[in-house]
Structure 1
Amino acid sequence: MALYADLHRHLGGSVVPRILWRYFQRHNPDLAQQYPDYSEFEEFYTRERNTLDEYLELHTLVESVQNIDTLPYFIYRLIRGAYIFENLAYLEIRYTPYLRTNPTLSENQRIEQMRAIVEVVDKASKVNEYPIITSQILCMHTRLSYDINRAIVDLAADNKHQICAIDVAGGDKLYEDKIDEFVKLYQYARSRGIKTTGHLFETPYGSYPELLPYLMRIGHGIQIPLQHPELLTEVASLNQCLEICPTTYLKTGTLDDLKQLKIVFDRCFEAGVDMAICTDNAGLHNVRLPFEYENLLTQDIIDFGQLQTCQDASFRHAFAWPYSQPPSALLVGLLEERENTKHSISHRQKTLSP
């Protein structure tokens, strides 16, 4: 039985290098010529970058081949891998729908096509042989206009059966010039009953406390315990959950060593702030969720009890998990029910025996 939840996974960064390289070889001759050797492509695709901005440029490579026709190809393989190799019971897939539309269309036509993109992602995510509960988070983007970002909010509000929340993505250095816009957009989203998360406090450049009151979860948020621990009380009082993505901080040059996360976990546990351990971009990292767990444990950043606490928090803060308990508790209930049935049958047999 699948047991885990990943609350922070980007569609653009979810494609593992082998699958992306094979797609190039089969369907995109131009990119196939650029990357003829798989080992060289894997090294390029998964190596550490110096900054978050440099790291985010890799998303454009995947976004260039993810469109309304090809999305089912990539999503099927994402769901298959998440179920078989990661034991996921629940997955929130986030992406900017506008960046999957046809770039040759007008802006209004691209905004209209976003609805079709959402439908394709929803349909492709429902794979009977790999039963994972999925939902979509639509990302506004720092490089898009206010009108496009508001259209993304409206799309989420009009399709709550498919979309569980909104987010804001893009380099956090770009937030400053648009911070008033994003405050208005988040206020508008909350007024329409949309759940919210946002990439915030990931790097020292992403510290914008103005957005905190409008978020139900915080994408990353590690700079709060590292640089702004005075905010932890507010985060705890708002019942916000930090979406911690360990490998990301090495790949973006945000942290030099994974052990620097120990102070993040220690301060959050002490302040009563919930954390969910996530992958962010499992494909770009070539690291799946169970390995994120293992890396934190083997480097003594957290212990097994703390890991369980974070796993439980993932389901408690999941925007579209339909049950009041995580899968492990449901499984225990099924086993107890089975044992009770066996004992009841055994008791009746003994009672009826001559």
Structure 2
Amino acid sequence: MALYAELHRHLGGSVVPRILWRYFQRSDANLADRFPEYASFEDFYTKPRNTLDEYLELHTLVEGVQTTQTLPYFISRLIRGAYIFENLAYLEIRYTPYLRTSPQLSQSERIDQMAEIVEIVGKATQTKEYPIITSQILCMHSRLPYEVNRAIVELAAQSKGYVCAVDLAGGDAHYAERLDEFVELYALARSLDLKTTGHVYETQSGCYPELIPYLMRIGHGIQIPLQYPELLSELAANGQCLEVCPTTYLKTGTLEDIRQLKLVFDRCFDAGVDIAICTDNAGLHNVRLPFEYENLLTYDIIGFEELQACQDAAFRHAFAWPYQQRPASLLNGLFQASINDTGNGSLGREFAEIAD
């Protein structure tokens, strides 16, 4: 069995359309009236948008219903689907905790409530029924004030049992006016021994070389190989990894054709820059991780050797994966041990070949 790692999945975009629609029908009369039929809701929820900003507005639809009361429900569905349908062994869930707090509270009260949100998410992901190793990435947000973003970094440092890293989200075109502020916050994160990633170089309006030195991984980053390939040697030397989410760029209007990603993969492989293939918003896209793999193969963007290299890179760059090897390698070791113990070489070799 091949087991995978997902390094870039947003909690707000992780809920698949049917589960979200059923929740509306049971619990939200206004949204139930707005979308009485599932087909119309799926079309609205998953259709491509013209810009990244327009696309990100959809997150507000989900953030408003992901509360202290409902988060366990949504996360249990996320973990179940990830285990059963995606064969995930490892999952990093990223989100902005402030946007799950009660809007009726003051800013300082909402900052205080963020710790409760992190604990709720952490406990909800720990299930024996679907044994996936999970961790949280807390996202600063380009449209939140400095005080809130600093509190997010500090909370991440205080919650390392649940949290593995910090991120910056909210649309990379909006960082420019506050770039010094975000550099300061990333420097703070590194000083607190936090791991870091960030949504940069996703669009042509979001290219900030000032942030690159602070990032251990780069969220998306496709404009580096497309527009600034001279930076690839620096990324390779620093061991930085791109989190490439193929379907996203079609949904946001960033790319017109998925085959444009071939140049991204080719230039990164040639330069020795690792890529982890991710979904970003699996529910919002109605696309799971194995389909992202299949799509890249179908369009001859990568081959099977490159796919395996990307799968290996995902575990190698996972912030909280506790083992030296990926699951397939661990399974091969178990099969080999079984061969040695039982002497059933023929059957054991067949299983080992399947695991390969």
Deviation per CA, 1:156-205: give whole Å up to 9, x if none. Answer: 00111110000000011110001000000000000000000000000001
Q: Which amino acid aligns with 1:252?
A: T
Runs (4+) of structure 1 exceeding 4 A deviation are none
Is the CA contact 1:2–1:89 (under 8 Å) kept in the aligned structure 2?
Answer: no
Pairs within 5 Å for 1:161-172 = 161-172=161-172
Distance 1:331 1:200 in 2: 36
Q: Which consecutive residues of structure 1, in runs of 5 or more, have no partner in the other structure?
A: 346-354
2:194 matched residue in structure 1: 194
How big is each residue's C-alpha offset from its partner over 1:129-176, in whole Å with a ceiling of 9 and x where there is no partner? 110000000000000011100000000001111100000000111100
Q: Given that residues 136 and 162 in structure 1 are in contact (C-alpha distance below 8 angstroms), is that contact kept between their aligned partners in structure 2?
A: yes
The reply on whether 1:11 has 2:20 as its aligned counterpart is no
Q: Paired residue for 1:329?
A: 329
Task: Determine whether 1:112 maps to 2:112.
Answer: yes
Q: Residue 2 of structure 1 contacts residue 83 of structure 1 at CA under 8 Å; is this kept in 2? A: no
TM-score normalized by the length of structure 1: 0.96
CA RMSD of aligned residues (A): 1.0
Cα distance change, pair 344–204 in 1 and its aligned pair in 2 (3 A): closer
Cα distance between partner residues in 1 of 2:172 and 2:161: 30
**TM-score normalized with structure 2 length:** 0.96
* SS at 1:42 equivalent: helix
Mapped to 1, the partners of 2:300 and 2:239 lie a distance apart of: 26
Matched residue SS, 1:210: coil
C-alpha distance in 2 between matches for 1:146 and 1:108: 13
Q: Which amino acid aligns with 1:10?
A: H
Distance in 2 of aligned mates of 1:262 and 1:124: 38
Please name the residue that 2:34 is paired with.
Answer: 34
Indicate the SS of the match to 1:209: coil
Secondary structure at 2:196's aligned position in 1? coil
Contact preservation (8 Å) 1:232, 1:268: yes
Where 1:287 maps in the other structure, the secondary structure is: coil
Using the alignment, how far apart are the partners of 2:238 and 2:70 within structure 1? Answer: 40
Query: Partners of 2:173 and 2:165 in 1: how far apart?
Result: 23
- How far is 1:332 from its partner? 0.2
* Deviation, structure 1 residue 2: 5.9
1:231-289 CA distances to partner (integer Å, 9 max, x unpaired)?
Answer: 00111111000000000000000000000000000000000000000000000100000
SS at match of 1:206: coil
Q: Provide the C-alpha distance between the structure 2 equivalents of 1:340 and 1:250, rounded to a whole number of angstroms.
A: 49
What's 1:175 paired with? 175
Q: What is the distance in 2 between the residues matched to 1:52 and 1:223?
A: 14
Matched pairs, number? 345
Name the structure 2 match of 1:247: 247
Structure-2 residue corresponding to 1:59: 59
Corresponding letter in the other structure for 1:72: P
Report the 3-state secondary structure (helix = DSSP H, G, I; strand = E; otherwise coil) of the residue aligned with 1:237: helix
Give how far 1:344 is off. Answer: 10
Q: Which residue is equivalent to 1:291?
A: 291
Q: Which residue of 2 aligns with 1:279?
A: 279
Task: Give the Cα–Cα distance (whole angstroms) in 2 for the partners of residues 53 and 64 of structure 1.
Answer: 18
> Does the 8 Å CA contact 1:17/1:284 hold for their aligned counterparts?
yes
The answer to whether the 8 Å contact 1:83/1:89 transfers is yes
Secondary structure at the residue paired with 1:89?
Answer: strand
SS of the aligned residue for 2:248 comes to helix
